[in-house]
Amino acid sequence: MIRFLDAGESHGKALVAIIEGLPSNFYIDIDKINEELGRRQQGYGRGERMKIEKDKVEIWSGIRGNKTTGNPLTLVIYNKDYENWKDFLHREAEKHEKIGIMRPGHGDMVGFYKYKTGDIRDVIERTSARETAIRSAVGAVCKQILEEVDILIRSKVESIEKYQDGKMNLFDEYTYSIIQNSPLRCYNKSIEEVIKKEIDRCKLEGDTLGGSVYISIKGVPIGVGSYTQWDRKLDAILSMGMMSVQAVKAVSFGDGLNTSLKGSEFNDEAYIKQQVIHRKSNHGGGIEAGVSNGENIDITAYIKPIPSVKKEIASVDLIKKQNVTNRYERSDVCAVVPASVVLENVCAFHILAEVMNKFPSDDFIDFKHMIKEYKEKVKKI
Amino acid sequence: MIRFLDAGESHGKALVAIIEGLPSNFYIDIDKINEELGRRQQGYGRGERMKIEKDKVEIWSGIRGNKTTGNPLTLVIYNKDYENWKDFLHREAEKHEKIGIMRPGHGDMVGFYKYKTGDIRDVIERTSARETAIRSAVGAVCKQILEEVDILIRSKVESIEKYQDGKMNLFDEYTYSIIQNSPLRCYNKSIEEVIKKEIDRCKLEGDTLGGSVYISIKGVPIGVGSYTQWDRKLDAILSMGMMSVQAVKAVSFGDGLNTSLKGSEFNDEAYIKQQVIHRKSNHGGGIEAGVSNGENIDITAYIKPIPSVKKEIASVDLIKKQNVTNRYERSDVCAVVPASVVLENVCAFHILAEVMNKFPSDDFIDFKHMIKEYKEKVKKI
Amino acid sequence: MIRFLDAGESHGKALVAIIEGLPSNFYIDIDKINEELGRRQQGYGRGERMKIEKDKVEIWSGIRGNKTTGNPLTLVIYNKDYENWKDFLHREAEKHEKIGIMRPGHGDMVGFYKYKTGDIRDVIERTSARETAIRSAVGAVCKQILEEVDILIRSKVESIEKYQDGKMNLFDEYTYSIIQNSPLRCYNKSIEEVIKKEIDRCKLEGDTLGGSVYISIKGVPIGVGSYTQWDRKLDAILSMGMMSVQAVKAVSFGDGLNTSLKGSEFNDEAYIKQQVIHRKSNHGGGIEAGVSNGENIDITAYIKPIPSVKKEIASVDLIKKQNVTNRYERSDVCAVVPASVVLENVCAFHILAEVMNKFPSDDFIDFKHMIKEYKEKVKKI
Amino acid sequence: MIRFLDAGESHGKALVAIIEGLPSNFYIDIDKINEELGRRQQGYGRGERMKIEKDKVEIWSGIRGNKTTGNPLTLVIYNKDYENWKDFLHREAEKHEKIGIMRPGHGDMVGFYKYKTGDIRDVIERTSARETAIRSAVGAVCKQILEEVDILIRSKVESIEKYQDGKMNLFDEYTYSIIQNSPLRCYNKSIEEVIKKEIDRCKLEGDTLGGSVYISIKGVPIGVGSYTQWDRKLDAILSMGMMSVQAVKAVSFGDGLNTSLKGSEFNDEAYIKQQVIHRKSNHGGGIEAGVSNGENIDITAYIKPIPSVKKEIASVDLIKKQNVTNRYERSDVCAVVPASVVLENVCAFHILAEVMNKFPSDDFIDFKHMIKEYKEKVKKI
């Protein structure tokens, strides 16, 4: 059973997470976590702040010479921008101008009425997608562990605005290297060009763009998750994780959105070849009855356009209680690329958690051995 | 904090649920629960079993003369079909023929390898959508409570196969009465006719159909859910609930799938009119930053076609370890209509749970009073 | 991860529990559950009701020919007394006389003010120790599973009133057979006689007696529980379980109450003999730093005298709002003997849950194999 | 719903906690948290390290100018001793001498076998009672919030070794001021002197002492906790919290250990005087049926002597696999005084959590108002 809590404001001193329940004796590669944080900060369409923050994680507990001890991990990512905000955030909120103008689409209004601190600044600081940096760090630790047991999580941008780059096999190394090198995490160069132009145009117009991300997970053994109770279904759990990421508004497994398929077409036909069960397709996205079936787990997450727009839209000043136009706070034009990275890592946490629910795991060596043994056993019919 | 567990097999003695944490002093209308169970059993495209089962719930604990006492509720729905299965299910599984042929798309294979009882029958009995009867009963109790605090949950079929009936305002009573009386929970009679024919055709061909369901929730006050931690976001929680329902493969909030909208279009502009904050649109589906914003919560869930098809498809006998064709077990042609009812009730549980996390609720009278008072307070800016 | 919820009133139709997460392929011996229920109903000092109820459990789901399938179990114990209470409990509470006189020491007052149903009857029905019947049934299933992996849970009465029968090795079969055959679960016949007389005397005087129960658990492998986070400590978890049993007011591990011991005396010295680590004592009660250390887990739970006394004591009528004398409701004179049985079974649930957290297993055969292998491995230094 | 995770090693960079779910708009007094940390570090019988560490907490998130925002709090306590351990802890454990000699009574053996890092140092670092510094900080925040709603938590040393200072009314300000000023948190000066001498003697002999702590909680309104399900009982929850504190081996509520009382004596007689319900006694310790009854919640926790003794005792080197004598690591002689402070704060967390389950509140102003209103209402019968 692993779990974590994270904390921290967008311009506060640091983002912090505590992870409890990781197996001991796993060597954490901190550079690889930072690599994920770096990937998250890249992408065509990112705004100015990304130049300020070069996220680096520090691990304050739970390891000894980079090897996990079983003790809880503390992850810390300092906010470099904090120095500019320090005085502001440490003074009584009463002592400077409060933000009353809500930005529709953000949590400004709901937070203002829920927590009633009288200043939307307090809401912005936590609802900000900056929080995904620390959540990605948590996931990046899990991703490393998964890799060592041959479970790989990869992603690409499936579409931005109406432009479709589509799904493809992300475990074809050639294909994936193109995607990894693309500033838009796309495969098709022509689509990439069109999207770049669209992003440039939007930037000029003060507008933003959404899109979708395709995540594919390879190597999850048969039998992770359970159908015995609603809250143990792997797709339900993954769905919660992904929908909890800022700006995600829809989640689909396999060909879940393609309702034109009939049952006889949607079902992934099975057959034995050389003692191994194969499937002719993967419309189900690797999950049947809420349990992994050994095929790749394929997910698409839909990202709404960032609500921070320079374009004038109608809004309300909740303090002055009057109609106004929108307030703009520095932001990206398009967050689909970073979302792609964040979602890989968020999935990593949930996949590891559920794999660990199936296999004993105080110690990583045992854990790895047990999974390997199990995979061998279920491989051949 | 409310929670429940449910249990029971498809052809076992009964489906049972225990609900813990409901407020006292609420009068449960058992007929209304049975009405929901009845609605779940109707719909064009339902199979033969629905003629056998006329689900009626019994409440064995937690009430006194129909009034809740604060004590946990036991809900019991007897399976009428049990009498025909009794001997079969009570004998040692060893004493009759085991099922080895997996039905792709169902949990047959994953359950066979996960729980290793040696008989797919044991898997079928729990993965069956029959479980949604008791989950609907749990939700139906919650739905009643929500109605008394003016939170209404309604649904319609949005599409079946490629035929779109679309979204519409379900709180327009005239509109909703047409939907409620439609055997396909559709509004447009012409679409209805086309779909009926498609279902008839599929039935003849031994195939099945999927589709989508639109759920709309009215009256959730501002501030339910929270953005402070990933697992408190209302959309994440609802998403988990819905994805856990058999055959649901995708979930979308508001216009979550419409990535062609720009930020300036997606944002739901706000303005004050007669001291009340209004929105010009509801693309966000009533949730901002994981918290309800007072607008209707609009969700679409996508239902895959039922995997049970008469049509021959390739499959595997996991016991005999050989290639075979599919095995057919009695089923419906199209489960989108019942899914519509189930999802209303599943949402009801989660909405009530989260509303109760915001408002004290040992006792229903206090609970109702508190919500009413709060709604008055936040109504006027 | 196993969990359960239970429900049911003292005179309601039935007590019901749902257990989720048990491994498949375990053969449940229902007679053995009933045996535990029978043991719970015996004991010198039990009242009249025990003659009415001869508890028998029914398992409605989760098994097939007594073998678990991995699906959740439904346990049902019908209340025979229900027939006499049926009309009373099904009518509107409004239609008969309400109970307003609180019985100090029972939950009457707190329930009256918390759930505000206006009738203490509603409180009595759930706070009653009758609930321990179903909790014992849940535990009895766990106890069987533990026995199959050589984890044994036994108990005795340690004291009643000021009379001490003491602790002793419960895994000495001769000793334990005497205790099992004693109507007071005592070893010393002379003490037994004294206590019997005290109970008889109390019965005449309309008073009740408390005492203490010693529970000893053998065979829990090293390493169950964890010190990495406060809520994973095995003693903390067991403590919660035991304190949640009606009338338990104190819990102690090993020689936890003997503060006269110095550190050098309390520490359980360790040494190797024939490659096995032994301890010279077990003052720590088998748990170090919240983790099992392979020694017997020794616990004493203290049971207050049943609050239901015929003797006049000052009380309040919460409806009439006036001073009165106590109200008496049928009860036992001394519940220490049944508490002994209940606590064994309550411990069984928590021990199994925590053992399964270390050795998560979908299937009992694997589970058994894994524990056996582990025990072999850690046995020899 | 509030929750927290903590992390950090005894000589690591810092101890860290994240608290989620606190109400907004509460002004945190950081000096008061540090005061609790200071109280924890005092007491006759504390060892050398206390001179090195003067714990100060930093709050990195969740506040703005000391006012809570609803966002999760990050608490950080730096370990001053870290500078001396830095190289040691950051190097590969492989690169210096490992600890193989277990200290009986500590978690050394169980951690060595559970997490298998090959060095007991990794276990010591987390099982150390140093962790109680951060848990006290978490509790200190909760304690402040409780004070503002007139819920006070106080403690004293009840006994050390066989010397009893006893229980008394801690809400008598004169009495409590004496206890607060006593280096042993005792009231009787003569007992204090005897204990001091005993501690001095033990120090010379290289031995340690245990004892007991009395905690009393005033102002918890009627109805916190619930009897409807075993895991909602307030005494069970508090019991878990206290037993999870290092060295606590037994927990008792009210006169829970006094089994010589009969039912008619143990029951706390009730009567009305000036429209208020009073009790003639508080044997039940303020909890009936797992729910607060408005009286003081009285608890005694028993603390075993610190296992770290200089005196020679038999032990085992788990690496060299041979019999040895004990290994000594710097420690206190008697930890009962700090335990007293720690337990106050640990109780504060659980009491606040359960009070917030009854009066959920996003915002402290509402929370305070709600509790005040409720207390007024239930005060008069």
User: How close C285 gets to chain D, by Cα (Å)?
Assistant: 9
Q: How far apart are CA B347 and CA B231, in angstroms?
A: 17
**D295 in Cβ contact with D234 (< 8 Å):** no
Contact between D284 and C251 using a beta-carbon 8 Å cutoff: no
Neighbours of C153 (CB within 10 A): 25
Residues of C in contact with A360 (CB under 8 A): 358-360, 370
Contact (CB<8Å) B209/A263: yes
Angle at C340 between CA C67 and CA C45, to 5 degrees: 120
- Nearest CA of chain C to the CA of D95: how many Å? 24
Task: Please indicate whether, in this complex, the C-beta atoms of B243 and A230 are within 8 angstroms of each other.
Answer: no
Chains adjacent to D (≥3 CB pairs closer than 8 angstroms): A, B, C
Among candidates B8, B72, B94 on the partner chain, residue whose Cβ is nearest the Cβ of C7: B72
Question: Given this model, what pLDDT does residue C51 score?
Answer: 62
Q: Contacts of residue C235 in chain D, CB cutoff 8 Å?
A: 243-244, 249
- In chain B, what percentage of residues exceed pLDDT 70? 97
| Cα–Cα dist B316/B303, whole Å | 25
Token pair in block for residue D332 = 């206190």
> For residue C340, what is the enclosing H or E element?
helix C336-358
φ/ψ (deg, to 5) at D321: 55, 55
What was the pLDDT predicted at D81?
A: 86
Test mutation, C63, C73, C117, chain B, max B CBs within 10 A: C117
D interface with B, Cβ–Cβ < 8 A, is 1, 20-21, 70-72, 223, 226, 228-229, 357-360, 362, 370
pLDDT tens digits, D93-149:
566 789 999 999 999 999 999 999 999 999 999 999 999 999 999 999 999 999 999
pLDDT at C48: 58
Q: How far apart are CA A73 and CA C356, in angstroms?
A: 23
Question: Which DSSP category does B328 fall into?
Answer: -
Chain D nearest CA to B124, separation (Å): 32
Confidence at residue C4, expressed as pLDDT on a 0 to 100 scale: 98
C-alpha D272/C-alpha B246 separation (Å) is: 57
Residues of chain C with pLDDT under 70: 47-53, 91-95
- What is this model's ipTM? 0.97
Mean pLDDT, to the nearest integer, of B34-50? 82
Instruction: Tell me the shortest Cα–Cα distance from B140 to chain A, in angstroms.
Output: 17
For helices D234-243 and C234-243, angle between their N-to-C axes, nearest 10 degrees: 160
Rounded to an integer, the average pLDDT of A215-221 is 98
Residues of C in contact with D313 (CB under 8 A): 264, 267, 269
Pairing of strands A276-279, A291-292: unpaired
Nearest chain A Cα distance for residue C349, angstroms: 18
Return the closest-CA partner of residue D355 out of D70, D124, D37, D142.
D142
pLDDT at C329 (0 to 100): 75
Rounded CA gap, D165 and D160, in Å? Answer: 8
Q: What parts of chain D have a pLDDT lower than 70?
A: 47-53, 90-95
Residue A91's pLDDT band, with cuts at 50, 70 and 90, is low
Task: Identify the contact set of chain B against chain D, taking CB-CB distances under 8 A.
Answer: 1, 20-21, 70-72, 223, 226, 228-229, 356-360, 362
Rounded to whole angstroms, how far apart are CA atoms A185 and C195?
79
Separation CA D59–CA D337 (nearest Å): 26
Cβ atoms A51, A330 nearer than 8 A: no
Tell me the average pLDDT across B281-297. Answer: 98
The chains found to touch B (3+ Cβ pairs under 8 angstroms) are A, C, D
Provide the token pair at A355. Answer: 């794999």
D109 DSSP 8-state letter = H
Helices (H), B91-155: 108-115, 120-127, 131-148
D269: Cβ contacts below 8 Å, ≥ 6 apart: C104, C313, C314, C315, D279, D280, D281
| B61, B344, C113, D259 from B67: Cα distances, Å | 11, 23, 17, 39
> How far are the Cα atoms of B12, B86, B87, B90 from residue B83, in angstroms, in the given order?
9, 5, 8, 11
| Cβ(A9)–Cβ(A16) below 8 Å | no
Facing residue for C12 by CB, picked from B61, B65, B119 = B61
Number of neighbouring beta carbons within 10 Å of residue B355: 26
Average pLDDT value for chain D: 94
User: Which residues of chain D lie closer than 8 angstroms to C269, CB-CB?
Assistant: 104, 313-315
Asked if B363's CB is within 8 angstroms of C25's CB, the reply is: no
- Average predicted confidence (pLDDT) for chain B: 94
Which residues are within 8 A (CB) of B200 and not within 5 positions of it... i.e. 6 or more apart?
none
| Parallel/antiparallel/unpaired status of strands D211-218 and D152-160 | antiparallel
Q: Are A11 and A79 in contact (CB under 8 A)?
A: yes
Residues in chain C closer than 8 A to D305 (CB atoms): 261-263, 266
Q: Between B and C, how many CB-CB pairs are < 8 A?
A: 163
Parse chain A into domains and list their residue ranges.
3-379
Bridge partners (DSSP) of residue D339 are none
d(CA B62, CA C82): 15
Q: Contact D208/D202 with Cβ under 8 angstroms?
A: yes
Q: Which of C228, C358, C370 faces A70 most closely, judged by CB atoms?
A: C228
| DSSP per-residue letters across B215-234 | EEEE-PPTT-S-SSSGGG-H
**Residues 6 or more apart whose Cβ sits within 8 Å of residue B297:** B216, B217, B220, B234, B238, B253, B285, B286, B287, B351
Distance separating alpha carbons of residues D348 and D237, to the nearest angstrom? 12
- Give the pLDDT of residue B51: 62
Strands (E), chain B: 3-7, 14-20, 57-61, 63-64, 67-68, 73-78, 152-160, 163-164, 211-218, 248-253, 270-273, 276-279, 287-288, 291-292, 297-303, 314-317, 322-325
Q: Which H or E run contains D325?
A: strand D322-325
Cβ-Cβ contacts under 8 Å, B64 against chain C: 89-90, 92-93, 117, 119, 121-122
pLDDT value of residue B93: 56
Q: Residue A51: which pLDDT band, with cuts at 50, 70 and 90?
A: low
Query: For residue A95, what pLDDT is reported?
Result: 66
- C82–chain A nearest CA distance, Å: 31
Residue A194: pLDDT over 60? yes
- Phi first, then psi, for residue B95 (nearest 5°) are -90, 5
**Residue A239 with chain B: CB contacts under 8 Å:** 239-240, 242-243, 251
Residue with tokens 């779910």: D21
Confidence of residue B49 (pLDDT cuts 50, 70, 90): low
The CA distance from C247 to C301, in Å, is 10
AA identity, residue B139: G
Nearest CA in chain A to D77: A60
Contact A58, A173 (CB under 8 A): no
Assess contact for C169 and C376: CB atoms under 8 A.
no
Taking only the tens place, the pLDDT of each residue in D26-79 is: 999 999 999 999 999 988 877 655 566 689 999 999 999 899 999 999 999 999
> What CATH number belongs to D3-379?
3.60.150.10
Residue in chain A closest to D95 (alpha carbons) equals A65
Mutation for C interface: B15, B16, B97, most C CBs within 10 A: B16
Question: What residues of D are in contact with residue C5 (Cβ under 8 Å)?
Answer: 229
Identify each DSSP E strand in A291-370 by its residue range: 291-292, 297-303, 314-317, 322-325
Question: Could you tell me which residues are beta bridge partners of residue A114?
Answer: none
D248: which residues sit within 8 A by CB, 6+ positions away? D242, D301, D302, D303, D304, D339, D343
Asked if residue C127 lies in contact with residue C307, where contact means CB atoms within 8 angstroms, the answer is: no
Q: What is the predicted pLDDT for the residue at A291?
A: 98
Q: Which tokens is C184 given? A: 């007071």
Select from D158, D273, D153 the least CA-distant residue to D216: D153
Nearest in space to A33 (alpha carbons), one of A78, A75, A82, A79: A75
Separation of alpha carbons D239 and C289, rounded Å: 16
Which long-range contacts does A164-173 make (Cβ < 8 Å, 24+ apart)? A164/A191, A165/A191, A165/A192, A167/A214, A167/A216, A167/A298, A167/A300, A169/A216, A170/A214, A170/A216, A171/A216, A171/A218, A171/A296
Q: C16 to chain B: nearest residue by CA?
A: B74
Residue B47: is its pLDDT beyond 80? no
In angstroms, the separation between the Cα of residue B76 and the nearest Cα of chain D is 19
| Residue of D59, D60, D75 to mutate, interface with A, max A Cβ within 10 Å | D60
Per DSSP, C209 falls in state B
Chain B hits for C122, CB-CB cut-off 8 Å, are 24, 64, 69-71
For residue B265, give both structure tokens.
């279009």
Region B106-115: what's the mean pLDDT?
97
